Amino acid sequence: MSDDEHKSAGEVHHELHSHLPPEPGLRVKAMESLLIEKGMLDPDTVDAWVETYSEKIGPKCGARIVAKAWCDDAFKARLLENGTEAVKELDDAGWAVAHLKVIENTPDIHNMVVCTLCSCYPHAILGPPPNWYKMAAYRSRAVRDPRGVLDEFGMSLAEDIELLVWDSTSELRYLVLPERPEGTQGWDEERLASIVTRNSMIGTQRVLSPDEGAA
């Protein structure tokens, strides 16, 4: 008897759907393929729009939250105490965020976010999740070998820094508050927000460069 015959229907369903996009995703992919086949859609353009929204436009709300926390100690305290309520103070960032916990990086602590069950993610403030965040390899290894995963992101974390891994759920999402980099004294919130990256708010990047916002 094969291993598959010993599996329950639920186990088989979970295994199949861990490798396939959800039904709406399949429909979108089918429509995209049809439009490309008919010459009505350029796949490179689609990829460019997705990348732009994922990497730049989407995370801007989160970056504004981080920048405000760096500049306003009272807001930062409210944010760390109750992220859900604090982000409502920002007109365009709080409307779709529920059950948000903000976790702060310090010189001695680094935080990293994962969703081991699926890909729960604070879309309203970070945009769509990157593909790697949804992959089984990240979701499983982030809890088993988090330092190894960070190494693959080019981030070597010193052994004396405590690494905390937070598992998102459908009821609770996390946002990492990265450390403010040296050399940004006197910067306004807009300029500070320009150096905050999506990965730093997930925890797969630790050090932010003030050179990114120097212009």
Domain ranges across the chain: 3-41, 59-213
Question: In this structure, which CATH number among 3.90.330.10, 3.30.70.100, 3.30.460.20, 3.40.710.10 belongs to the domain 59-213?
Answer: 3.90.330.10
Residue 8, pLDDT > 60, answer no
The dihedral of CA 142, 143, 146, 148: what is its sign?
negative
Residue 186, pLDDT > 60, answer yes
- Tell me what pLDDT residue 22 has: 56
Q: How far apart are CA 49 and CA 43, in angstroms?
A: 10
Catalytic status, residue 118: yes
- Tell me what pLDDT residue 20 has: 52
- Contact present, 129 and 175 (Cβ < 8 Å): no
- Tell me what pLDDT residue 200 has: 97
- Tell me what pLDDT residue 95 has: 46
Instruction: Enumerate residues 6+ apart whose C-beta is below 8 A from 102.
Output: 65, 69, 79, 80, 83, 86, 174, 175, 176, 177
User: Does 118 or 2 have the greater pLDDT score?
Assistant: 118
Mind spelling out the 3-state secondary structure of 135-195? Answer: CHHHHHHHHHCHHHHHHHCCCCCCCCCEEEEEECCCCCEEEEECCCCCCCCCCCHHHHHCC
* Cα 144 → chain centroid: 19
Q: Which of 18, 33, 54, 120 is catalytic?
A: 120
Q: Which of 118, 170, 194, 209 is catalytic?
A: 118
Catalytic status, residue 156: no
Burial 121-148 (b: 16+ CB within 10 A, else e): bbebbbbebbeebeeeebbeebeeebee
Q: Which of 61, 115, 168, 200 is catalytic?
A: 115
Residue 187, pLDDT > 90, answer yes
Q: How many CA atoms lie within 13 A of 12 on its CB side?
A: 7
Catalytic status, residue 71: no
User: Does 96 or 202 have the greater pLDDT score?
Assistant: 202
Residue 72, pLDDT > 90, answer yes
- Tell me what pLDDT residue 2 has: 46
Mean pLDDT of the chain: 84
- Tell me what pLDDT residue 16 has: 43
- Contact present, 173 and 120 (Cβ < 8 Å): yes
E strand or H helix at 48:
helix 43-52
Looking at the DSSP bridge assignments, the partners of residue 162 are: 109
Catalytic status, residue 120: yes
The dihedral of CA 69, 78, 98, 121: what is its sign?
positive
- Tell me what pLDDT residue 93 has: 57
- Tell me: the pLDDT tens digits for 159-169? 999 999 999 99
- Tell me: the pLDDT tens digits for 76-112? 999 999 999 999 888 655 445 668 999 999 999 999 9
Residue 180, pLDDT > 50, answer yes
Q: Which of 54, 71, 119, 194 is catalytic?
A: 119
Mean pLDDT of 178-201: 96
- Tell me: the pLDDT tens digits for 13-49? 445 445 555 566 677 777 878 888 888 888 888 777 6
The dihedral of CA 116, 108, 153, 83: what is its sign?
positive
